[in-house]
Chain A
Amino acid sequence: MTVRSDGLKAVWRRPGGRAGAAFLGFLVLLAWLGPLALPDPFRQFDLVELADAPPSADHPFGTDQLSRDVLSRVVSGARISLAVAALTVALSVTLGAAVGLVAGYWGGAVDAVIMRLVDGALAVPRLFLLLLVLALSDRVPLAVLIILMGATGWFATSRLVRAEVLRLRTEAFVQAAEALGASRRRVIFRHLLVNAAGPLLVAATLGVGDVILLEAGLSFLGLGVQPPTPSWGGMIMDGRPVLESAPWVGIFPGVAITLTVLATNLVGDALRDVLDPRSA
């Protein structure tokens, strides 16, 4: 029985947290195992007979213009969206934690310079920054997309971690550790970072939803995940011209985005209630 497992149980006890966690669990399983049981998402069944076919027993979510199975593509898109979101958030949380720790621990001029730069970066809309970079290059590989989104997503996290570190530095147990000869590295990683983990986890969870939306938006604009790789945003773009005649092409990926973002936000809010009593 540890502090952490208590926290996870408390999330599960909240209706919102439970619904969100259950949906995300289901989605991860589906993204992992679903493709084994579903048709190949790239397969074009019959361009003449099955283009934009409505939902049927063979294709529960219908097919798109290229007669590909929409359910298969939504499930494969979940793989892409979840993986991209997880890697992006891992990168941005690492960067944000590192910068926040440095600024908060060293303070003074280091802190002032870093935080003014972060203030400046926060003043630039992330979407425009990404659009600018992506529009100037053609066909961005997935890895570069992840790095770009991660590298522009840590500013708020660094402020959060810095604030936590400033608070923790005055805690008696940090002073006690210093008084007993703990090295700087131990103080930073064991006493400051681990105790800032709660708010950091909340920010990371909520960040996953943001990144899924961001990636969908970029893909919708044709600047994110490149076709034919299935992505939810890209599928909505595919469905846009046929929204009236074949609404299932765009609606199902749209519902997937909405439910997934809603689920991550529910889990994030439940975590916040449990781990971060000050903002509850």
Chain B
Amino acid sequence: MDRRPVHPMAWIVWATSAGFVAFVTTDPVYLLLLWAVSWFVYAGHRVDAEHARSFRLFLTGAMVAVALRTALVFFGTVSAANTTFSFLEGLRLGTILVIFGTFNAVTDPFGLVRMAPRHFHEPALAAALALSIAPRTVAGVGRVRDAQRMRGIRIHGARALPALAVPVLERGMEEAHTLAESMDARGHGAGRRSRYRPQPWTGAAILIAVPAIAAAATFLAASVGGWAVLHPQTSPIVWPEADPLLLAGIGLLAVPGVVGRPER
């Protein structure tokens, strides 16, 4: 199998399509399947332990989002219908977060900078930095904890925060500085782009992008055409439906889980 890294654009297409699917539906069947798909794709493509931490962070964030959105119902009338409605809205938000976590874990944000047109290098760099803040912070926290553990420092609870925050912030500053210097030294954004490391569209990249577009198109058709229930009614609460065509569409989003895995 082709072991070259998958073109980042393929992952953008996948994440956008999966996010779109999550955006147009509040059916818990499709949303929970998207959680499973994200987990499956992440399991097939995660590169190292640091990325694993970042995915876990987004997973936790998604669960918190679902809980918070559901808790909002306590500001209004608490009823089964209202709670279900709030929960489904929260689940949709959480699904988008989990998809973004997978996207973060499987692709290198700095690879995206290379694809930006030359005149947009600076905004693209800012975007890439913003995208990578969460995984890099998580990785930094992990490294600081490891270092502390090796030195026999064991601090738990709230008292660990300052001991943890200072080195993490310091590291972050240092890393950003190093990155800026190295990019400057390589003439980033100043001249023509390097052709020494071309990023071809491999078969795996096409196998990731095309089914994802097909899945998004299926849900778009269902949303516009109205031939399937994308928003199950919550008053009275009924069993959610699962349209076979839309299930197949979600299955298409899981294709990246079986193709184009990087060498370990």
Partners in one complex: no
Interface residues of B, Cβ cutoff 8 Å to A: none
Interface residues of A, Cβ cutoff 8 Å to B: none
